[in-house]
């Protein structure tokens, strides 16, 4: 749902200009230095990107899912590391508070997240609990008015920059699986939290992940999201469901960028006396990319619009994440192929995108987990 077309057009123009004039020229620098320059972060705050999904009454732009998807497609047209910096705050980091938090929690945390003063991270994965997130073992033991947290979270995006964590921990030891999990809002400055060394990743340099170790960290009981223990897993799944449309939109944007680069190269590069774009085998690769991007974009926009209308889009969100992330991998592969040897060389940038997009098929639910979700929902509906 687009609330106001003029405002949306202006926002998309601003984001497009920001991507083209500020981010694209810095892609190589960011990859080389593994950091995002301060002036870029400042501009992200000015545009309102950290508060994109936070409702206006808490200081954000309060975009709808359709609007968010359109912004994310534009943001996708540059290195995904840029999106990652504000993406966890806009997406998985803050959505738990927004969806299930009490009014007091929203008032306390959302304005500072929306302004970019605080970055939010989402801490679900553990060394022994990845796809099987409900088996998490981080403990939250009640002690007076607090819970005391022990456990390790793994691969947490933006943990080195986080001001606050949405942390999933087992507060009800008698309840097996997902029923015993609560979601906590944890101030990252709390004593008893330490960070592992930064992970050395395949791609997306400039975006940082690391372990977060909770060793006797005290969290006030009032920081349980929604105030009621045992509902954290449901909060986490709701957050991830929405996140799947967000990630799928990014995949569409990055795929469009890679295809633009590949098309431009194919029209310039000459072999056998003509541009390689004239060869039908190269045209087939270009056409396959264009077709699959169109399919993914249509899926994302449909799921986003239906979510805005209040429909249950659990299956569609997984279809989007599954198809768009796999599509993005195929487009990256063809884009490298179209570049020939140049596609393997770092100066052309396409090999960087090839590595960067590999992550989309893994985090926020692997492709296999999306397949399981889709099939299980189909069986439930049929039964
Ligand atoms: C760069 C990066 C950033 C991340 N950021 C965050 C973050 O901010 N917060 C957070 O909580 N987590 C984060 N993660 C963790 C991410 O969500 C997990 O890595 C992902 O969910 C997969 O879990 P795993 O790595 O333990 O793989 P596993 O669960 O060990 O999976 C290994 C393989 O087995 C397959 N598999 C597992 N179970 C099944 C099954 N039932 N059926 C079929 N196949 C199956 C998987 O699809 C995969 O192919 C991040 C990961 C990375 C790499």
DSSP state of 24: G
Q: Is 366 in the pocket of ligand 1 (CB under 6 A)?
A: yes
Supply the residues annotated as catalytic: 364
Q: Is 123 in the pocket of ligand 1 (CB under 6 A)?
A: yes
Q: Residue whose CA is closest, atom 44 of ligand 1?
A: 368
Kind plus residue range of the DSSP H or E element containing 235: helix 232-268
Q: Tell which residue, 335, 375, 378, has the closest CA to residue 353.
A: 335
State the Cα–Cα distance between residues 366 and 133, nearest whole angstrom. 12
Atom of ligand 1 nearest to the CA of 92: 8
Q: Is 124 in the pocket of ligand 1 (CB under 6 A)?
A: yes
* pLDDT of res. 90: 87
Burial class (CB in 10 A: 0-12, 13-18, 19+), 12: middle
Distance 321 CA to ligand 1 centre (A): 14
Distance 366 CA to ligand 1 centre (A): 6
* pLDDT of res. 91: 85
Atom of ligand 1 nearest to the CA of 367: 47
Q: Is 134 in the pocket of ligand 1 (CB under 6 A)?
A: no
* pLDDT of res. 96: 95
Atom of ligand 1 nearest to the CA of 364: 17
* pLDDT of res. 354: 98
Distance 364 CA to ligand 1 centre (A): 7
Atom of ligand 1 nearest to the CA of 153: 11
Q: Is 209 in the pocket of ligand 1 (CB under 6 A)?
A: yes
Which residues touch 25 (CB under 8 Å, ≥6 apart)?
A: none
Q: Residue whose CA is closest, atom 12 of ligand 1?
A: 125
DSSP state of 180: G
The percent of the chain in helix, strand and coil, each rounded to the nearest 5, is 60, 15, 25
* pLDDT of res. 16: 98
Q: Residue whose CA is closest, atom 23 of ligand 1?
A: 130
Q: Is 198 in the pocket of ligand 1 (CB under 6 A)?
A: no
* pLDDT of res. 88: 86
Residue 29 burial (CB count, 10 A) = 13
Ramachandran category for residue 118: left, alpha or beta (phi over 0 → left; psi -120 to 50 → alpha): beta
Residue-wise burial string across 145-184, b where 16 or more C-beta atoms lie within 10 A, e elsewhere: ebbbbbbbbbbbbbbbbbbbbbbbbbbeeeeeebebbbbb
Per residue of the chain (383 residues), what is the pLDDT tens digit? 999 999 999 999 999 999 999 999 999 999 999 999 999 999 999 999 999 999 999 999 999 999 999 999 999 999 999 999 998 888 888 999 999 999 999 999 999 999 999 999 999 999 999 999 999 999 999 999 999 999 999 999 999 999 999 999 999 998 888 999 999 999 999 999 999 999 999 999 999 999 999 999 999 999 999 999 999 999 999 999 999 999 999 999 999 999 999 999 999 999 999 999 999 999 999 999 999 999 999 999 999 999 999 999 999 999 999 999 999 999 999 999 999 999 999 999 999 999 999 999 999 999 999 999 999 999 999 98
Backbone phi and psi for residue 323, each to the nearest 5 degrees, phi listed first: -70, -45
* pLDDT of res. 273: 98
Kind plus residue range of the DSSP H or E element containing 165: strand 164-170
Q: Is residue 333 a contact partner of residue 355, using CB atoms and an 8 Å limit?
A: no
Give, for ligand 1, the residue of 366, 369, 370 to mutate: max count of ligand atoms closer than 8 Å to Cβ: 366
* pLDDT of res. 176: 84
Which two tokens mark 342?
Answer: 């140049």
Distance 202 CA to ligand 1 centre (A): 15
Q: Is residue 166 a contact partner of residue 96, using CB atoms and an 8 Å limit?
A: yes
Give, for ligand 1, the residue of 362, 364, 365, 370 to mutate: max count of ligand atoms closer than 8 Å to Cβ: 362
């Amino acid at each position: 749902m687009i609330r106001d077309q003029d405002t949306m057009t202006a926002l998309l123009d601003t984001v497009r200009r920001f991507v083209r004039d500020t981010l694209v020229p810095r892609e190589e620098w960011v990859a080389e230095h593994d950091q995002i320059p301060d002036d870029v972060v400042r501009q992200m705050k000015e545009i309102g990107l950290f508060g994109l999904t936070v409702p206006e009454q808490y200081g954000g732009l309060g975009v709808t899912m359709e609007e968010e998807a359109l912004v994310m497609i534009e943001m996708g047209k540059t290195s995904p590391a840029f999106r990652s910096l504000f993406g966890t705050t806009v997406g998985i980091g803050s959505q738990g508070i927004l969806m299930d938090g009490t009014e007091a929690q929203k008032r306390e945390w959302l304005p500072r997240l929306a302004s970019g003063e605080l970055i939010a991270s989402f801490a679900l994965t553990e060394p022994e609990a990845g796809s099987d997130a409900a088996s998490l073992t981080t403990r939250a033991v009640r002690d007076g008015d607090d819970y005391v947290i022990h456990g390790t979270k793994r691969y947490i995006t933006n943990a080195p920059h986080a001001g606050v964590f949405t942390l999933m921990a087992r507060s009800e030891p008698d309840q097996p699986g997902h029923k015993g999990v609560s979601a906590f809002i944890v101030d990252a400055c709390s004593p008893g939290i330490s960070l592992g060394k930064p992970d050395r990743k395949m791609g997306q340099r400039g975006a940082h992940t690391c372990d977060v170790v909770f060793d006797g960290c005290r969290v006030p009981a009032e920081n349980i999201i929604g105030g009621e223990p045992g509902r954290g897993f449901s909060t986490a799944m709701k957050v991830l469901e929405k996140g799947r449309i967000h990630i799928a939109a990014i995949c569409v944007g990055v795929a469009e960028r890679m295809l633009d680069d590949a098309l431009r190269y194919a029209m310039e590069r000459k072999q056998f006396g003509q541009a390689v774009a004239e060869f039908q085998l190269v045209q087939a690769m270009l056409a396959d990319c264009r077709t699959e991007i169109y399919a993914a974009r249509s899926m994302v926009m449909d799921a986003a619009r239906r979510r805005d209308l209040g429909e249950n889009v659990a299956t569609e969100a997984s279809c989007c994440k599954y198809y768009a992330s796999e599509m993005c991998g195929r487009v990256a592969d063809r884009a490298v192929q179209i570049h020939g040897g140049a596609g393997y060389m770092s100066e052309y940038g396409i090999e960087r995108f090839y590595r960067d997009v590999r992550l989309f098929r893994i985090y926020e639910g692997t492709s296999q987990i999306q397949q399981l979700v889709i099939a299980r929902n189909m069986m439930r509906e049929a039964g």
